[in-house]
Amino acid sequence: MATTLDVHVRMCNQEIVIFDLEVKAFIQELEQMAKEQDKESEKQALLQEVENHKKQLLSNQTAWRKANLACKIAIDNLEKAELLQGGDMRQRKTTKETLAQTSSNITESLMGISRMMSQQVRQSEEAMHILANSSRTILDANEEFKSMSGTIQLGRKLITKYNRRELTDKLLIFLALALFLATVLYILKKRLFPFL
């Protein structure tokens, strides 16, 4: 029975270590994404969330260490008590039952910590998905802005060209009007004052 519990405890420890590594990786990734944000408000919000996750991770690690230490102390105390009690069979049975109960309690505690870390991993994943979606939206808006910027520049060029053409048209109209008036004056001069 003790070996079955030992195996279960080892499996819980391995799960906790795996979750711990995943949480650390997600936190680092979230922190990197926060540093890459252009908007200062989004950057600060994400960095605050990173800090919250780091605090929760530290709290989980502390709880895990305390549970582990409590387990070791309980096992040591039980072994000492068993050694001091001698060979009483009834006492040994009680000690084994107590040891099994303590191991079960510790296993439950480790499972609770494992669940907390799993929840932390899910929260980090959700935060990363939200961040990825907002980054995608920002990139789309940036592409649209670039497209609009190109359209605006083309419009500016066309307006500048139109203004130049309008100036040229005004100059040509003025010259044509001056030529027309000169022609009218010449004709009038020839008709009214033929001797000049």
SS3 185: helix
The mean pLDDT of 48-71, rounded to a whole number, is 81
112-128 pLDDT tens trace: 877 887 788 788 788 77
156-193 pLDDT tens trace: 999 999 999 999 999 999 999 999 999 999 999 888 88
Instruction: Sort 1 into a burial class: Cβ within 10 Å, 0-12 / 13-18 / 19+.
Output: exposed
pLDDT band at 142 (very low <50, low <70, confident <90, very high): confident
The mean pLDDT of 87-106, rounded to a whole number, is 67
Task: Report which of 112, 103, 104 is spatially closest to residue 15, judged by C-alpha positions.
Answer: 112
Contact at 8 Å (CB) between 127 and 30? Answer: yes
